[in-house]
Structure 1
């Protein structure tokens, strides 16, 4: 729960920042000076990119949390016991040992979002955040496609 509070605080601060930058951008654009107009336009583009990045990260977080809840309700969350550090992170050697079974599950069932989500958890436990996020994004896409198929 504390992670959600932290995300909320950072998101609120970013929104305040976006409002203040937009105000300054308007003042610069309305000045009529070529340099001011150029700076004002730049100040509009950068916050738009920041807002897009914020939306993308929040969307990823909400969707991956939703999948975790679904998998938990189905009883499909990994039950592997691995040693953890005092910080709560898995000991990498233990997590690495579990990885091949999750990879094999994805190779056997490439269209199963559950397998991809578990693979993402394994990557995360092994400390590979880039691959973890890619696997969870794949799980999100597959689950959305599955939902669309069943809605028809």
Structure 2
């Protein structure tokens, strides 16, 4: 018996929330930068130093936010490519009644993904799957590092990647 799920439009609430938060952040950065310019314009030493510091912070924020958006766009491209090939990671790990992933099962399922990356360190697909294995195991920092490696390899970067 086939359980066909009716086709429904994809919900983009995460994207809408990210765009909204980025917009709010842009307003905040603009306000801080405006105040920084006003401080620098006073010509007073302390105000100038504070103004310059306030100008550097928004620039740093903009660079970091831009970096995250570029990663998100490439992760979506990779996911679309994997979906087309029928190779998206499948979340079939056992869960507790509260919905949390069973950590022992996640650690056990992690091994094949790590072995795949060790065997083929230049394969972005392996790194993508490893990232989701790290995430399921609760290691978000390594998951993010693996996604960055997958993204770099997907864009044609160096094949000399190390496991996080």
What range is the shorter-chain TM-score in? 0.7 to 0.9
TM-score, scaled relative to structure 1: 0.87
Runs (4 or more) in structure 1 with deviation over 4 Å come to 85-89
- The yes-or-no answer on 1:27 pairing with 2:38 is yes
* Aligned equivalent of 1:107: 118
Higher helix share: 1
* Distance change in 2, residues 1:3/1:131 (3 Å): same
TM-score, scaled relative to structure 2: 0.81
* Aligned equivalent of 2:55: 44
Measure the CA separation in 2 of the matches of 1:3 and 1:86. 25
Measure the CA separation in 1 of the matches of 2:63 and 2:141. 20
Measure the CA separation in 1 of the matches of 2:15 and 2:78. 16
| Unaligned segments of structure 2, at least 5 residues | 1-11, 158-164
* Distance change in 2, residues 1:87/1:77 (3 Å): farther
* Aligned equivalent of 2:134: 123
- Over the aligned positions, Cα root-mean-square deviation in angstroms equals 1.8
Q: How many residues align?
A: 146
Measure the CA separation in 2 of the matches of 1:88 and 1:47. 38
- The yes-or-no answer on 1:66 pairing with 2:80 is no
* Distance change in 2, residues 1:6/1:87 (3 Å): farther
Measure the CA separation in 2 of the matches of 1:4 and 1:86. 28
| Unaligned segments of structure 1, at least 5 residues | 147-152
* Aligned equivalent of 1:77: 88
Measure the CA separation in 1 of the matches of 2:58 and 2:25. 9
* Distance change in 2, residues 1:62/1:83 (3 Å): same
